[in-house]
Structure 1
């Protein structure tokens, strides 16, 4: 698909076809996800990809029994690494080798900054990793739809339950998001229906000064159109 079609036609889908998602398609999706931007290019994300029925059932129990966790052939747990320095050595060596840093002294200075981030309180490190890992999760959903694979982001889950269910170290990793993946069912209304209302650009973009819109009302023409459809 063209980029514009990907971002404007993607829907959050709850109904999936009874069809497995081939491993090569999953790999192709994540091949693009790994190019997501992140702070210092530290890439603080891991993806637990669940294709086994029993393991998706285990995730469903930690996701307040939401049916599409098991109805989709794949569920992904997006995990953010709360240690900014976890992959810093490889990242900074690459910077130095490719000329992004002028010398080893500059590399060591940046490393010191990253290690300083790693010493921050846990809550600050949680916020840091959620920011970058959410970007990667968005790339995941768009990359999937480019392959014709539907998705649904899920914030409704018990983080501790997810950590316990899959023996993930909660001191190091933050469950950021769940994402279901699969080919959409033919009856998936999420895909076929007209796109839901999106606020216009002139309401969400503020040039030079921030003047937020306190409340939003559906435009009169949209109300009339919805009434006509009924």
Structure 2
């Protein structure tokens, strides 16, 4: 599937068919996810992939009973490591070996900079990892669509309950959940009129910024 088709045909799907998603397809999705960008290339994301019924039931409990968490054959908890220095050594060594850093001194300087980020405090580090990890969450949804799957991002869940239910260390910030599978026949698909999207003119500001309000016009109503 071409990228523009994957983006434009993606829908947030709540109804899934009984067709399973095989491990090879899941692997193919995450093969693309790992190329997501991140601050300093620190790749703070981790993913808890749940395909067993009992585990998705446990996830449903912390997601306030949302049915699509269990209706989908795959549910993913997208987690962000709040310690920027967790992968600093590997990232810096890679950059040294590939010539992005000129010498060991530069490598040590990069690690020192990243270690300094880690000392900023819990709030700043939660914000930092959420920014980078959310990028990977969006890549996940686009990569899934390119494999012919449907997804839905889920923001309604109890993060602390999720950590407790699945023994996730407090160092990891639960950023979002994503359900994934084949859309049911009655689900939204590319023949369903797309919900309103603000125009390029509404969302892009050139050189200066002035807030714009959403305006629904006939073209927006007709857009699919």
CA contact 1:14–1:190 (8 Å) conserved in 2: no
Tell me which of 179, 194, 219 is aligned to 2:217: 219
What TM-score, normalized by structure 1, do the two folds share?
0.94
Mapped to 2, the partners of 1:159 and 1:23 lie a distance apart of 27
User: Matched residue pairs, number?
Assistant: 223
Q: Which residue of 1 aligns with 2:123?
A: 123
> Does the alignment pair 1:114 with 2:150?
no
Unaligned runs of 5+ in 1: none
SS in 1 for 2:85: coil
Q: Which residue of 1 aligns with 2:207?
A: 208
SS in 2 for 1:60: helix
Q: Which runs of 4+ in 1 moved over 3 A?
A: 220-223
Matches within 5 A, 1:51-90: 51-90=51-90
Q: Which residue of 2 aligns with 1:179?
A: 178
Q: Which residue of 2 aligns with 1:136?
A: 136
Change in CA separation of 1:222 and 1:139 when aligned onto 2, cut-off 3 Å: closer
Mapped to 2, the partners of 1:156 and 1:98 lie a distance apart of 42
Mapped to 1, the partners of 2:41 and 2:220 lie a distance apart of 42
What TM-score, normalized by structure 2, do the two folds share?
0.97
SS in 2 for 1:90: helix
Q: Which residue of 2 aligns with 1:20?
A: 20
RMSD after superposition? 1.2
SS in 2 for 1:85: helix
SS in 1 for 2:26: helix
CA contact 1:13–1:191 (8 Å) conserved in 2: no
- The Cα of 1:191 is off from its aligned counterpart by 4.7
- The Cα of 1:72 is off from its aligned counterpart by 0.2
Mapped to 2, the partners of 1:124 and 1:65 lie a distance apart of 31
Mapped to 2, the partners of 1:79 and 1:108 lie a distance apart of 28
CA contact 2:11–2:188 (8 Å) conserved in 1: no
